[in-house]
Amino acid sequence: MAETIEGDKKKPVAKPWIVRLTKALLTDEVATSKNSSSHQMTEAISTSGEKTPPVMASSFSAMKATEIGAGKISTQPKSIQLADNTATDKVAISNKSKSIKGEKNPVPHGSPSCAVIQTSPSHADKTWIDIQFHDKEKTIVKKPDKFENEMNEPDALINEEILNRIQGSMVGLALGDALGAYVEFRPRQYLVDHPVTDLESGGTWGLTKGQFTDDTSMALCLANSLVACHGFNPYDQLVRYKWWHQFGYMSSIGNCFDIGAGTRQSLREFERRQKTFAKEFSIPLTDMDQLSDGALLEKFDIYCSEDGVAGNGALTRLAPVPLFFHRFPAIAVEYSGISGQITYGDTIVYDACRYYGALIVAALHGEPKSQLLDNKFYSRHAEWFRNIPLHPGIQSIAEGSYKRVGGYNAGIRGKGYIVSALEAALWAFWSDDNSFAKGVLAAVNLGDDTDTTAAIYGQLAGAYYGYGKLPERWLQHLYARKFMEKLSKWLGYEGECWQKRYKDTGSYLPTTNI
């Protein structure tokens, strides 16, 4: 993945407002849900017992934001009881600016600190979700395809249309990645002379046909975290990204490759902070990946990027978040933004991820393509964004800057800067004539960061068209296809469980009937 490290230096970099997931936010969703297009969908059926067991559980605390300066906030923890007697979900996100000033910096609690959630027996074994090795020396990591046969599945019925879209988004991402990997870094003129038309072996990385790069690996890390933690846990997400970086966790070839500069810098910073934290609080370094003390985790600063970092890697792994939280659009949108900013510090990344996350939610809810690409999409879904304006660079895209008939000749570029990447992916979706194959190949044949542009396209297009409309001639060669199919079921199931934990409290009603 070729990333652009620096964002737009002409604009001041301000940290986002970050947490508004209070009881008021959750309740507000009820008031707006009646107008949501998501009511077009049918009700999902879940027949299992309570939630799956926490391999790594989630614990959150809601934050009350107080302004401390232009574009910055101070976060004051304010716990909210949301769950039944089996678990307590809290939400806590902090602003990185606090750590710069040396103040306490609350973050989401680490997953092991969550109360155990009672489950049915078939959910008790999810060993496939954590890192495993073939040897005691931990030199050969178990790859995703090795888990396909031993993976269990939720013993619950998941709405078929929703599952079709979730699988379409996850697998669509991987297909785009695999198609683009063959010619990654190739300039446009090379693709004009040698256009990609099919999956190929060899190319830039010497991969076997259907294998994917860092883009899909990080998306699988994120999806695994959501399933393992039964919710959003940025600390655990960073741990899994670190596993990928160090050991090749979720890699198609067993080691980390094609890592972007911004991602590498952030993960190195995360490792440095873990070491510092372990020393300060007398914690064995080997225990830091399973940190379970909620009070300690509130002190860990999860925002590991410098300001001004605006690489496209935040978008390429995004899909699992809106796929998991789609029943609660405002939460899905907020978490989408945060998921990007833990490794990319520019505020334009936060808004690019919020906007694209909202598009994926809308696609899952069955909105027609004309509405997804409507220049007024943001204004029609303003409540999903908490009525907080988008960064001007993202607002321009939301108003249709990508709608250029000439494509590359009209200025569309598949570059490492997140704005360029978002614009290119949406151009491919807008111009694909309702064909995933045509759109993904158009994204690849723009040249440059071919795998990432196509992977970003694949998330939205896959959610819109659904798994059933992805080309079978490519699916049959896709690496770890069954793993992604099953993982998608877990995303759907755990998202349903997350919904029920909140619904059962009476705090608020779900925003959709999905």
Helix (H/G/I), strand (E/B), else coil: 65: strand
452 labelled as ligand-binding? yes
Cα distance between residue 64 and residue 18, in whole Å: 10
172 phi-psi bin (left φ>0, alpha ψ -120 to 50, beta other): alpha
Tokens of 74: 């101070």
449 is in an annotated binding site: yes
Q: 204: annotated binding-site residue?
A: no
Query: 258 a known binding residue?
Result: no
The answer on whether 214 is annotated among ligand-binding residues is: yes
How would DSSP label each residue in 362-397?
HHHTT--HHHHT-TTHHHHTGGGGTTPPPPHHHHHH
Nearest to 348 by CA among 420, 406, 242: 420
DSSP string, 95-137: -THHHHTT-----PBPGGGSPPPP--GGGS--GGGS--BSSTT
Residue 56: which of 4, 114, 141 has the closest Cα?
Answer: 114
Which residues, 6+ apart, have CB-to-CB distance to 170 below 8 Å? 219, 223, 319, 320, 323, 462, 484, 487, 488, 491
Q: Is 301 assigned to a binding site?
A: no
What Cα–Cα distance (Å) separates residue 339 from each residue in 58, 81, 278, 412? 15, 24, 24, 26
Annotated binding site for Mg(2+): 213-215, 449, 451-452
Annotated binding site: 213-215, 449, 451-452
